[in-house]
Chains A and B, each alone.
Chain A
């Protein structure tokens, strides 16, 4: 017999960005609880709004299948008391026991019938734990200290299996069959069944499916709305009945930079911006309400009023800020502290200007460095801190600085994430690296080193940004000349992360490449691509295994390079001479080859290496021969490890 399942956890408003992850965990945990040998785990549909996490399934078994379980008792030779004890434990008379033969002898046993548990009981027991186990980034308690924790207070629970309530309780809330509609448009005590749940919610102004809410928004906003998938998702999970409305603002605000207008609309008001026929910002915005309609235009009026006030602020700040040019603000940075032990932003500016030059930045880059932090003293940045850098770039342009300078200032904080792009110009890239390097070196020098999840100066992001810019900007800057000690190790960690998690290279390939040097990250990338391309060729991994063997042999022999080179006189004809010849030839060959060709050439040595190990005794009785063979192996390893240290490759054999 199978039935429908409905679970609804009614909560106070859950932060939008946490909902999809929490819902998926909820589904996985319930699915796990329902998993059982011999029956198919039902497919669970999961939905959520800001006020509810909902799971629905049909075809859920009402009870697990019965199982037979063989209990093994004492040996056949055991005293009667022990046999009786076992029978009692099994709940049968001793005569009912069977004898089973096992490899160790004959034993009393009993085939116990274990009835399957009723799903209702199983879920009633498991659900409180499951719900409280749903992971959220930050939880709260609400009943009292040491009470259960959840993202926000749980206010109602619907739990139905078929027509029965699955009885349980979480934080004083008993499960039942009564749900709640939209806070103001819907009812607050709605009896539901597994069949009519979604429709009942819909009747009470709750659109259960996120996809349906997304489609409703998309279909009701005009095509001229600037697409913003991130904002759309926020609004999908911030509403139960989303309805977009369009508002206007005075055209005169369009004189403000689009960046400022969009920041106000998107980040402060969660509004979409609208583009005109030329792709420029129009004097309109789209707000998404959590009600069905704005019949009297009250919501439109309210939103327009708030936006007007915000734009007015921005305009006021912009105008105020123009009274003093960026260049004249640099000196004011003396009173803005970067970090107590590292001095003011003026001091930082001076360091960054110098570093920009050392890194090869041109006059534009150095001018940009000089002005880069001046926007921290502007009113607009104090108000919209997320626009620092951007505002500096806009002001530089408005104040007649060269475009190269403005662009570099504008981009100086890029990339803000691994998904973000790097600065567009070389000047911007070098400025960004200089700024981040200065922060890294400075913070490490005064002991502000990130630990665990604590990284208040976002040093990981800074280091990660440096790596991304160097690689993707193809800047051949010898990074290691500019860092030392702990910072070097810290950067190396970020380099590994970048190539592994962002770029998808295998960790052993990364180890192999980095072991052969990482002075130039562009070169590291080229070598990685090469090793990736030859990895799948048949000779590669066996050769890597051979290199590892060579390394072990050298280590066991305590071999130390003596600089005498290989003595051809001591080389025996056959596999040893063949290997020596191939080694010399390959060494010459790869001089003119690119990395992947070179790696292929090296990999082609494999049969020679194999044969050598097969036929030649490294530990020759003649000490001079032995040393010569070790020297040959060492030369192989040394000469061919400049691209990658093959011994780092994890081979399947």
Chain B
């Protein structure tokens, strides 16, 4: 029986063998692997790119104090970007499942329509949720737009839910019972995380402070985006740090939301504020990465 980390090793190996750069996770709070610049920015522009990384993804509202067997404040996604998507992309994906020991002649696999959209990132794509014996194990998306920009090359994004996949393979009813290694369970490694962040996000996070932080990060991102437009030295302009501030805003929004501080319709407005920043960075990034014609 493969442990949690064995499965991660195997999947990384599998995708490395198919030309992927194996990246480490982004060291900021994100809600999904898509938000990491390795996806959000790399899918833009005409350069082919293949990358895979495990991204811890934080969703404050999903926290359950470590008490719910299937729901986590922070779960781990294996994010694979194949840009452009190869013609046999689904076959390659199915191969990865077989590589971790799932005999697909004995299991029920269905690709059910599930179009993905991230209003905060101005991004959307079409695709499926991959259902294995009734369990959603992967989100498969052909990106069409990112940061409000039509993509030059269409990437396939594969997002594996690692805890679910492992619980499935190890036949565990609770993610906390997953064997992370032969000696340590998922609970051993992560329970404190789940408990403490749930307490903070639901009970102790100071709403006024979070809003202040949101405004500060928003201001800094907006300031930088404004400066880029006027910048005479665009190639060295710090767009990546600008994007960090956008991600901070996104996470603060999620925390405020979990805290119950954002009403249903206020949401729309706040999402639009974050989206504006994300779109601003995306547009600047496309401009910055464009090979510039040298002056005659």
- Chain A residues with CB under 8 Å of chain B are 12-13, 15-17, 50, 138, 140-145, 152-153, 155, 183-185, 238-239, 269-271, 287, 289-291, 294-296, 298-299, 301-303, 305-309, 312-313, 316, 335-340, 344
List the one stretch of B33-41, B126-134, B176-184, B225-233 in contact with chain A: B126-134
Cα of A535 to Cα of B151 in the assembled complex, Å: 59
B272-289 Cβ-contact flags toward A at 8 Å (1 or 0) = 000000000000000000
Q: Which of A12, A298, A306 contacts B90 (CB 8 A)?
A: A12
With A12-B90, A316-B68, A335-B260 as contacts: A302 and B151 at CB distance below 8 Å: no
- Chain B residues with CB under 8 Å of chain A are 68-71, 84-85, 87, 90, 94, 104-113, 115, 125-126, 128, 132-135, 142, 144, 150-154, 168, 171, 173, 260, 263-266, 268-269
**CB atoms of A298 and B173 under 8 A apart:** no
Cα of A155 to Cα of B107 in the assembled complex, Å: 24
**Chain B residues whose C-beta falls within 8 Å of the C-beta of A271 in the assembled complex:** 134
**CB atoms of B133 and A145 under 8 A apart:** no
**CB atoms of B113 and A15 under 8 A apart:** yes
**Chain B residues whose C-beta falls within 8 Å of the C-beta of A183 in the assembled complex:** 90, 94, 104, 109
With A155-B87, A291-B105, A309-B70 as contacts: A302 and B134 at CB distance below 8 Å: yes
Q: Which residue of A lies closest to B85 (CB)?
A: A142
Q: Which residue of B lies closest to A245 (CB)?
A: B108
With A303-B133, A340-B266, A340-B269 as contacts: A13 and B260 at CB distance below 8 Å: no
**CB atoms of B264 and A140 under 8 A apart:** no
Q: Which residue of A lies closest to B87 (CB)?
A: A155
Cα of A140 to Cα of B144 in the assembled complex, Å: 7
Most buried by A among B106, B115, B171, B268: B106
**CB atoms of A140 and B126 under 8 A apart:** yes
Cα of A356 to Cα of B134 in the assembled complex, Å: 44
Q: Which of A138, A295, A299 contacts B108 (CB 8 A)?
A: A299
State how many angstroms separate the Cβ of A377 from the closest Cβ of chain B: 10
State how many angstroms separate the Cβ of A297 from the closest Cβ of chain B: 10
Cα of A290 to Cα of B151 in the assembled complex, Å: 34
**Chain B residues whose C-beta falls within 8 Å of the C-beta of A138 in the assembled complex:** 115, 126
**Chain B residues whose C-beta falls within 8 Å of the C-beta of A294 in the assembled complex:** 106, 108
**CB atoms of B265 and A339 under 8 A apart:** yes
**Chain B residues whose C-beta falls within 8 Å of the C-beta of A298 in the assembled complex:** 106-107, 133
Cα of A432 to Cα of B172 in the assembled complex, Å: 45
**Chain B residues whose C-beta falls within 8 Å of the C-beta of A153 in the assembled complex:** 85, 87, 142
**CB atoms of A337 and B134 under 8 A apart:** no
**CB atoms of A309 and B173 under 8 A apart:** yes
With A299-B107, A313-B70 as contacts: A184 and B132 at CB distance below 8 Å: no
**CB atoms of B126 and A152 under 8 A apart:** yes
State how many angstroms separate the Cβ of A321 from the closest Cβ of chain B: 15
With A301-B171, A308-B173 as contacts: A145 and B150 at CB distance below 8 Å: yes
Cα of A12 to Cα of B142 in the assembled complex, Å: 12
Cα of A302 to Cα of B173 in the assembled complex, Å: 10
**Chain A residues whose C-beta falls within 8 Å of the C-beta of B125 in the assembled complex:** 140
**Chain A residues whose C-beta falls within 8 Å of the C-beta of B70 in the assembled complex:** 309, 313
State how many angstroms separate the Cβ of B253 from the closest Cβ of chain A: 16
Most buried by B among A50, A155, A183, A307: A183
**Chain A residues whose C-beta falls within 8 Å of the C-beta of B152 in the assembled complex:** 144-145
With A13-B111, A145-B151, A299-B107 as contacts: A287 and B134 at CB distance below 8 Å: yes
Cα of A12 to Cα of B266 in the assembled complex, Å: 39
Q: A185-B105, A313-B70, A340-B265 are in contact. List 4 more A-B contacts (CB 8 A).
A: A140-B125, A183-B104, A270-B112, A337-B266
**CB atoms of A144 and B106 under 8 A apart:** no
Q: Which residue of A lies closest to B168 (CB)?
A: A302
**Chain B residues whose C-beta falls within 8 Å of the C-beta of A306 in the assembled complex:** 133-135
**Chain A residues whose C-beta falls within 8 Å of the C-beta of B133 in the assembled complex:** 298-299, 301-303, 306
**CB atoms of A144 and B84 under 8 A apart:** yes
Q: Which residue of B lies closest to A247 (CB)?
A: B134
**CB atoms of B105 and A144 under 8 A apart:** no
Q: Which of B108, B126, B154 contacts A290 (CB 8 A)?
A: B108
